[in-house]
């Protein structure tokens, strides 16, 4: 009978969305585009992350964060959204929880808003169109920062 030692390299890689203790990282996705929300969600769940909530504008994002707190490890925050933009929502989340881990999702050409977000306390940012590798890399960087 073959043992695990016969296949040393198979399934050795740990899913990126899972902590050392085996728990999945919990994610809140805030974006007014259903397409982008689905895209982020698919990338993250395929790596074992747990999407615990979604919100389609900044105001709802802040409310969801407070409601889920402390059971959110990372927030992806779109910049351009109705009712309340992502930078204002970020400010309110940081005001509520200064240790919040927020990664901004930006369209091309929004460098000023990205800079402002980083000053306010966003841990990282990702520019659209979203690339799977970059999404995972930036989110993991922000969690290990
Ligand atoms: Mg948007």
pLDDT number for residue 31: 98
Residues 5-17 have a mean pLDDT of 72
Kindly report, residue by residue over 40-94, the tens digit of the pLDDT. 999 999 999 999 999 999 999 999 999 999 999 999 999 999 999 999 999 999 9
Q: Which domains does the chain have, with CATH numbers?
A: 23-143 (3.40.50.2300)
CA of 34 to the centre of ligand 1 (A): 9
Residues 33-44 have a mean pLDDT of 98
CA of 79 to the centre of ligand 1 (A): 6
Three-class secondary structure of residue 120 per DSSP:
helix
- Cα 122 off chain centre by: 11
**Tokens coding 44:** 């993250």
Residues by chain with Cβ below 5 Å of ion ligand 1: 32, 78, 80-81
**Tokens coding 97:** 């929880």
């Amino acid at each position: 009978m073959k043992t695990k030692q016969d296949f040393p390299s198979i399934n050795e890689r740990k899913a990126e969305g899972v902590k050392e203790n085996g728990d999945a990282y919990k994610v809140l996705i805030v974006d007014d585009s259903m397409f982008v929300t689905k895209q982020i969600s698919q990338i993250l769940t395929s790596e074992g992350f747990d999407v615990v909530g979604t919100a389609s504008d900044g105001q709802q994002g802040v409310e969801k964060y407070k409601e889920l707190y402390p059971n959110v490890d990372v927030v992806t925050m779109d910049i351009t959204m109705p009712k309340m933009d992502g930078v204002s929502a970020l400010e309110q989340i940081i005001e509520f929880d200064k240790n919040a881990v927020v990664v901004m999702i930006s369209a091309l050409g929004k460098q000023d808003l990205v800079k402002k977000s980083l000053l306010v306390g966003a841990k990282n940012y990702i520019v659209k169109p979203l690339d799977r590798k970059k999404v995972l890399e930036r989110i993991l960087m922000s969690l290990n920062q």
